[in-house]
Chain A
């Protein structure tokens, strides 16, 4: 037997072994991929099951009160009348305040960390910002009651109202008791800041170096290159981060309940107490015993669920577009 012949036989034998191994692996692969597919499908199924369960539990209220359920503000639990409008309004307004306050801060933080900060500072500062997301909601609420509210009551609210004369705008008028839409908005801003900041930082770090270099090569200053070349490139990713923060703000319960004043009323002034859907549920669910009341709460839950799902879907879509 010549050497090449033996080599060929050896290769054949090895070949067989390899094929066998591939066949063995194929069964394992299929079991594995079947199992993984099953588990992956569990999650969307769970989502649909939750939506169905809440939706069908809330259906009697939606059916009975109709569209008016979403627009009526004269709820009276004693009479069995329920209107979700103040809670929907409060949810949206407190979230908007949160975004207005948190977005510039978060973008500033992420720009600093990705563009300006010296390397040794990036990690610790980034870590501390991310840490804000790890503080439990009830701790934010307690901090709000003992620190934020007294500061708002005096000097912040009187300063806005009397010194800056912002009461003429209608947004900053009325007595300064502390618990208010403004307090809820501020606490939400702190809570959503780490979400917006960490998404924005990732997106900014993903901007190709050539983008910055090209701008600098054209004679742009550092500021011009950030403003003209980096930010536009990262824009939709940052918007996605903001909307992710919005989704978080919409659903936040405990801290908001502790600071918003829980008054189901639509008031123009941000100094006035308000209500949100999440705090409505947290407040009323444990003692709701009549079917109509439970159903109304479920309907509120369903509306909140829909809004957060839609907001998160938009965020996903925007983040996908940037890639």
Chain B
């Protein structure tokens, strides 16, 4: 009897402590936000290095602190939908279904370009292997199983291809890189469109799954005859052997910052004025365009309840388009082409303060 009363008192005390604690954290949060350092964002891991540079440069330039958690594109979209962050970031545009679940309209702002490279382990071959979209699709679908296949030989005249089995290495974790790659394969190969299709994780017909860019690159490096795909920035920093891929104009293009920007320019030249920027730039037209390229996006609500946050976010968007883009290449990210920067800058004005309709 007595012990029960004591237990009740104890529980009340614990709850009270918890309550006080919570009140305490809200207080500090308010204090912090009133000092102007309170934008939070979450999402894609691929652009995290450049975003963290931007946010730190921006904080030293303006004093506005932006806290970004690179928890993955899916997590970013989830958190934005639930309204727990001020903005999201994603390597794949939000689907119509995801947009419908959000509390209000969401705007997509491309920030930088990513490209996916095809890397392989064939010590015999010294200059970049040439590949076309349908050959890549058939390799990753398991239809071409040997390097000496006549279709690969036809693309590489004068190159002596080894008699080796092909080992496919793909990402095992859900990833924007897989999304861009499968988006490309779905665009160039009708067979790939029906299966496995396009997504951040796929039901791969063949091969070994490795975790992360480093997992794929490590497995490819260790296995003679292996082929996989990684991010351009990762491949550049680790000096991986990469294939030159035939683009829509028929040229073989090696992956680089310039050829990724060229892909965006090729698409950007024909964009309608009212585009929502949820656009794929794989297999882009135009000279020198690298075909497996993609935007990565910031996701910003069109109406932001707090006028202060609305100003902070729009100020930041203007800053990254004007200043941030210039530092992108220093971290191996391809900057947006000028016409697209101009279109995006004029679009910032559509972000309004007030409650969602």
Contact = CB atoms under 8 A, between A and B. Distances in A.
B223 A286 contact: no
Interface string A169-199: 0000001011100000000000000000000
A77 B203 contact: yes
Nearest to B197: A78
Nearest to A142: B218
Contacts of A38: 7, 10-11, 14
A149 interface: yes
A283 B201 contact: yes
A287 interface: yes
25 contacts: A33-B3, A34-B7, A37-B3, A38-B14, A75-B203, A76-B195, A76-B196, A76-B197, A77-B174, A78-B198, A78-B202, A78-B203, A153-B223, A178-B222, A257-B172, A257-B211, A262-B172, A263-B209, A283-B174, A286-B75, A287-B73, A287-B175, A287-B201, A289-B77, A289-B98
In this complex, the interface size class of chain A, counting residues with CB under 8 Å from chain B, is 35 or more
Interface of A: 30-31, 33-35, 37-38, 74-79, 145, 149-150, 153, 175, 177-179, 257-258, 261-264, 273, 279, 282-290
B173 A282 contact: yes
B219 A179 contact: yes
A75 B6 CA distance: 53
A-B pairs, top 6 by smallest CB distance, nearest first, are A287-B174, A262-B209, A262-B172, A286-B72, A289-B74, A78-B197
Query: What's the dominant secondary structure at chain B's contact region?
Result: mixed
B73 to A, nearest CB: 6
Nearest to B8: A34
Contacts of B149: none
B210 interface: yes
A145 B219 CA distance: 8
A290 B92 CA distance: 13
Nearest to A280: B172
Contact of A31 (B6, B200, B204): B6
B2 interface: yes
Nearest to B101: A291
Interface in B197-228: 197-204, 207-211, 215, 218-219, 222-223
B284 to A, nearest CB: 23
B167 interface: yes
B116 to A, nearest CB: 16
Interface in B166-206: 167, 172-176, 195-204
A262 B208 contact: yes
A79 B77 CA distance: 20
Contact of B209 (A37, A261, A285): A261
B256 to A, nearest CB: 27
Contacts of A179: 208, 210, 219
Contacts of B318: none
Interface string B44-87: 00000000000000000000000000011111011000000000
